[in-house]
Every structure is written in C-alpha cells, then in structure tokens.
C-alpha cells in the first residue's frame, strides 16, 4: 500500500536517515527499484518517488529491491560467502590453516573468496584470522599464571618467537609487557 510522501519522508531520503529505515521504503518509478531511506544510491527526482510501508508492498507493485542497500534485509550472495568464511575461521583459528585450506572448506577458489571477503569486511581472510588470534591472546594473557609459550600454543602459533613478533606488531608491546600492564592496572 502506497503511503503519502511527506516532507519528513523526503528529508529522510535526501539525508540518508538510518533511523527512518524501519518506517518506510521508497520506490523510484523510472528505475523500478525500491530502497531504504539510508540508501547511498543517487538521489532520485522527488516526482519519481513513491513511499511504501514495507518492501513487500513495493514488490507487489512490481518494484525490485535495491542491490546496494538490500531493503528486504536478506543476505546477498557475497555476504553469505563472507559469513561462511568467518564461521570457518572462528572454528579453526587455533589451527595452522592456509588460505587454500580455509577456502576449500567453503568450496570456492582462494582468489575469488579473498577478493570477496576483503570487499565485504575491509580486511583479508588471513588478517581476520590473525585478529581473532590476537584478541584471544589478549584474553588469555589476563591470566597472570599462564606462560607466554602456552598462550602462543593455545591460539595456534607453533613457535613463541613468532607469536611474540605478531603480538608486538598488533598491540605495540610484547605479550609479557601487556601482561604486566594489566597487572599494574589491577593493583
């Protein structure tokens, strides 16, 4: 069911108001596409815009959902791949897995999935794995009695020196210094 175009609706579209996303969708009659108010697509002419209560109403009138803002909230094909990769990395980040091994579990090519993951998340698959490892290391280092060697092994590093090098690069200090700084804050 179409809704009357108010000045507030139009301003929400013009200023890409995320807060209005749950209030309505707008459809553009010239492109036959409907979007959320927060969509970053080119601003249509006001006279070409219809307002709908929901995406299903716009679908019923023959409009298709925008690929940019995804007004129906369904995951795109790329998002589905990205979620699958993240799940695999979460399951296996403690193991020494290569990019080829991770992507083979997704049944995709390393080159394609690497590009896709970086486009969706802003970082590479291996950088994501590294980030998870460093975050887990920081949690484990809060345990004062846990030796650095054990922390390194628990998060998937074969050698302590390799872990220390990566930790220092990520946090700007060695794991021991990080552990001591946490102890100093507690006291």
User: Annotated catalytic sites, by residue?
Assistant: 35
CA angle (97, 102, 78) in 5-degree steps:
150
In sequence order, which ranges of 93-174 are alpha helices (DSSP H)?
A: 99-105, 110-121, 125-140, 148-154, 160-171
- C-beta of residue 98 within 8 angstroms of C-beta of residue 156: no
Q: Is 134 helix (H, G, I), strand (E, B) or coil?
A: helix
Rg (CA), the chain: 24
Q: What is the DSSP letter of 46?
A: G
Taking the C-alpha atoms of residue 59 and residue 32, their distance in angstroms, rounded to an integer, is 10
* Strand order across the 49-52 sheet: 2-3, 49-52, 25-28, 33-35, 64-65
Residues 6 or more apart whose CB falls under 8 angstroms from that of 93 comprise 129, 132, 133, 136, 155, 156
């Amino acid at each position: 069911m179409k809704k009357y175009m108010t000045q507030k609706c139009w301003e929400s579209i013009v200023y890409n108001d995320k807060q209005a996303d749950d209030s309505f969708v707008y459809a553009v009659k010239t492109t036959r596409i409907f979007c959320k108010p927060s969509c970053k697509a080119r601003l249509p002419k006001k006279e070409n815009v219809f307002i709908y209560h929901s995406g299903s109403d716009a679908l019923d009138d023959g409009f298709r959902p925008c690929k940019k803002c995804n007004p129906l909230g369904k995951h795109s094909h790329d998002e589905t791949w990205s979620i699958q990769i993240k799940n695999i990395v979460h399951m296996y980040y403690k193991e020494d897995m290569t990019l080829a091994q991770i992507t083979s579990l997704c049944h995709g090519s390393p080159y394609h999935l690497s590009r896709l993951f970086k486009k969706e998340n802003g970082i590479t698959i291996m950088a994501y794995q590294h980030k998870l490892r460093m975050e887990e290391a920081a949690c484990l280092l809060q345990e004062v009695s846990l030796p650095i060697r054990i922390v390194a092994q628990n998060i998937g590093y074969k050698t302590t020196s390799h872990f220390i090098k990566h930790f220092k690069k990520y946090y700007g200090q060695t794991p021991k210094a990080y552990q001591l700084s946490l102890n100093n804050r507690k006291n």
